[in-house]
Chains A and B, each alone.
Chain A
């Protein structure tokens, strides 16, 4: 067992992938000489050289598309995009090409590409570096969308993502990189398809993922002090969704709060909420509640950013409102 950070866990996964498979290479803005915008790839250029840790110009569409082409030709590229906001410059390649190529080629071609990017707020980076747009990507058939919220998943999701014959997007919440925790020296392989119960409870289910897992766990701890047992489900995969896990929990607790750093309108939280309502309506003792970010572009000032983001207080208030 080693104490490590989310960032280091991810770096270890990248290093092992590069060392273990000649087809794997890392490509993106400042992944090499700079060491990665968030220092995830620090040292990898020196270890693996500039062909396999490849700095790119600021050309999101071209280098994501190049990742698609290289994947089509049998490589296993890992493309890093600095933030989800920047990924909008590559949206054509991700949605029109990566997600659709298998289908529109009648199954002849496939795109074994992994795209990693930072998402989320909390670092006073304002309106063009802080949004949580992973829910948009989760809308798109043909993509697998992952949101590692723990050290174990930061390390463990990359290898199975690289084994996936289809495109996988990994959303790393920017506030998690410095998070510390233990990682076994020889961790078990992780499963990409299942949600995880991060805390058990019988009175309500909090469904969340990524950067708000910590918020949900804080809220659950406080609710426990009030005698309310909150179960916390970490979705882990935003597409496909492990709804059986969510529904099983809601079937026991009869109450659900969905916590999502994205905006409420047309969001992942809307999808989860709708599915609970569609499939577990008669199990519910209260309407599904949602805690999301305020519907504004992210402000810079700290007190405003804090007010916009879902906090443990908001989750506790929502939980109480359900009569749990």
Chain B
């Protein structure tokens, strides 16, 4: 996590800015590392959507739980995983958060109760319901924040999970990051009712839509929602956002107009917050330059850490399948 952001260090908004910058600069570096083949596989970038992860995780208590998707670098960093351990994971090193077993799509961290990146769309929602059920059965006042995209709303697991959480009054905050595209399929081409909060409300889950490009609005809504969930029952937040990059590094991005992307970039959550802070006298060029320099140093350090990391011995490939190795586990 980050320290104070003085001289105006008391301003929580500077912390939010730093968190978004950490995600942005981290991911920009992963693009370079991808081109250099240090990172492979699918790499789904959060760039443009940082306000969602930062605003919501900022509203959570340390003991709360997070369930995320395959586009979860931002959520992992905002939740408190170290940049070092996330970068090492992307480089497939044993020092990674998931020992290099998961990669970009499967970040896990017991210390921050981050129950993973799920890469089957909708697959994390039932798990979040179960985490919340356990809390309720044990009388623990904890919240499970479950992130998913607009694509998940078309999955049966969304509907089953909303119903179950509402029926059993479970402490889940459902956070739909609506970036308008399920991979390449526009929302209006996939949903008979494109107002997603309406769908959630059909399950009697209190629902509201928020500007996902405004981190202050996201954090405020999430704080209210988390408090309400902790008092009892699920809530649904639709965060209206946009990804500036393609779905993954493989995506030629043929399904969106450049003008649409450029229009959304005008609403980039990072400059938007910077403008608010400058207007309030809470941020000047020197402070911004210092934060940028500190973030750049953190990214450099993370890359150096990842590149100095070690590859798990191939002979260990069969470990962690089950607690007790099965006779047929591992290498043939």
Where the two chains meet, the residues of A that have a C-beta atom closer than 8 Å to any C-beta of B are 25, 51, 56-57, 59, 61-75, 77, 92-93, 96-97, 101-110, 141-142, 144, 164-166, 239-241, 243
| Contact in complex: B321, A71 (CB < 8 Å) | no
Contacting pair A96 B120 (CB below 8 A): yes
Contact of B102 among A59, A106, A141 (CB under 8 A): A106
Inter-subunit contact B164/A56 (CB<8 Å):
yes
User: Closest approach, in angstroms, between the C-beta of A57 and any C-beta of chain B?
Assistant: 6
Within 8 A of A (CB), among B129-158: 129-135, 137-138, 144, 156-157
8 Å CB interface, B242-294 against A = none
Chain B residue contacts of A106, Cβ below 8 A: 96-102, 108, 320
Residue of A62, A69, A93, A239 with most partner-chain B CB within 10 A: A69
Interface of B is mostly: mixed
Could you say which interface size class chain B belongs to?
35 or more
Which residues from chain A contact B101 at a C-beta distance below 8 Å?
A: 103-106
Q: Tell me whether B133 and A92 are in contact (CB under 8 A).
A: no
Interfacial chain B residues near A243, Cβ < 8 Å: 327
Known contacts A64-B126, A65-B161, A73 near B320 by CB under 8 Å? no
Give every chain A residue within 8 A of B96 (Cβ-Cβ): 106
Nearest opposing residue in chain A for B65, CB measure: A73
A92, B152: Cα distance in complex, Å:
14
In the complex formed, the residue of A with least CB distance to B130 is A69
The residues of A that contact B319 with a CB separation of less than 8 Å are: 107
Which residues on the A side are within 8 Å of B120 (C-beta)?
A: 92, 96
Q: Would you list which residues of chain B between 108 and 132 have a CB under 8 Å from chain A?
A: 108-110, 115-116, 118, 120, 123, 125-132
The 9 nearest A-B residue pairs measured at CB: A69-B130, A65-B126, A106-B99, A62-B160, A73-B134, A105-B108, A66-B130, A59-B160, A107-B320
Tell me if B323 counts as interface (CB < 8 A to partner A).
yes
In the complex, which residues of chain A have a beta carbon less than 8 angstroms from the beta carbon of B102?
A: 104-106
Given contacts A70-B134, A70-B137, A97-B118, contact A104 B126 (CB under 8 A): no
From A144, which residue of chain B is reached at the shortest CB distance? Answer: B322
Q: Once the chains bind, are B116 and A105 in contact (CB under 8 Å)?
A: yes
Q: In chain B between 302 and 320, which residues have their CB closer than 8 angstroms to a CB of chain A?
A: 319-320
Residues facing A in B192-217 (CB within 8 A) are: none
| CB of B326 within 8 Å of the partner chain | yes
> Do residues B328 and A240 form an inter-chain contact, with CB atoms below 8 A?
yes
Cα–Cα distance between A7 and B65 once the two chains are bound (Å): 38
Point out the residues of chain B lying under 8 angstroms from A109, CB to CB.
108, 110, 115-116
Which of the listed residues B125, B133, B329 has the most CB atoms from chain A within 10 Å of its own CB?
A: B133
- Please give me the residue from chain A that is nearest to B111 by CB atom: A108
* Contacting pair A67 B130 (CB below 8 A): yes
Neighbouring B residues of A74 by C-beta, 8 Å: 134, 138
Q: B residues engaging A (CB < 8 A)?
A: 65, 96-102, 106, 108-110, 115-116, 118, 120, 123, 125-135, 137-138, 144, 156-157, 160-161, 163-164, 167, 319-323, 326-329
Given contacts A107-B320, A109-B110, is CB(A57)–CB(B163) below 8 Å? yes
Measured between alpha carbons, how far is A62 from B161 in the docked complex, in Å? 6
B328 and A57: CB pair below 8 A? no
Would you give the shortest CB distance from B115 to chain A, in whole angstroms? 6
Known contacts being A66-B133, A104-B102, is A57 close to B128, with CB within 8 Å?
no
Contacts of B65 in A (CB 8 A): 73
Complex alpha-carbon distance, A109 and B130, angstroms: 14
Known: A57-B163, A96-B120. A65 touches B130 (CB 8 A): yes
**A66 contacts B164, C-beta separation under 8 Å:** yes
- Closest residue to B172 on the A side, CB-wise? A69
Contact with A73, one of B123, B130, B157, B323 (Cβ below 8 angstroms): B130
Chain B residues near A96 (CB-CB < 8 A): 120, 123
Contact A102 B126 (CB under 8 A): no
Complex contact B164–A63 (CB within 8 A):
yes
Report the separation of the CA atoms of residues A65 and B133 in the bound assembly, to the nearest whole angstrom. 11
CB-nearest residue of chain B relative to A243? B327
Q: In the assembly, what is the distance between CA of A147 and CA of B47, in Å?
A: 49
Q: How far is the CB of A18 from chain B (nearest CB, A)?
A: 13
Q: Which of A69, A77, A102 interacts with B129 by CB under 8 Å?
A: A69
A141 B329 Cβ-Cβ under 8 A? yes
Q: Which residue of B lies closest to A142 (CB)?
A: B321
| CA A108 to CA B127, docked complex, whole Å | 16
- Contact between B323 and A166 (Cβ–Cβ < 8 Å)? yes
Do B123 and A97 have beta carbons less than 8 Å apart? Answer: yes
B131 touches A73 (CB 8 A): yes
- Complex Cα distance A51/B169, Å? 12
Q: Considering residues A66, A108, A110, which has the most beta carbons from chain B within 10 angstroms of its beta carbon?
A: A66
26 pairs across A/B with beta carbons < 8 Å?
Answer: A57-B163, A59-B160, A62-B161, A63-B126, A64-B126, A65-B123, A65-B161, A66-B164, A68-B130, A69-B131, A70-B131, A70-B133, A73-B134, A73-B135, A75-B133, A92-B157, A93-B123, A93-B127, A104-B98, A104-B102, A104-B116, A106-B97, A106-B108, A109-B110, A240-B327, A240-B328
In the complex, the chain A residue whose C-beta lies closest to that of B132 is A69
- A65–B127 contact, CB under 8 A? yes
How far does the Cβ of B167 sit from chain A's closest Cβ, in whole Å? 7
How many whole Å from B304's CB to the nearest CB in chain A? 21
User: In whole angstroms, how far apart are the Cα atoms of A108 and B106 in the complex?
Assistant: 12
Contact assessment for A61 and B157 in the assembled complex, using a CB-CB cutoff below 8 Å: yes
Q: A62-B163, A93-B126 are in contact. List 12 more A-B contacts (CB 8 A).
A: A57-B160, A59-B163, A61-B126, A62-B157, A68-B127, A70-B133, A72-B131, A92-B157, A105-B101, A106-B98, A141-B322, A241-B327
Which among B99, B134, B138, B326 is the interface contact of A240 at CB below 8 angstroms?
B326
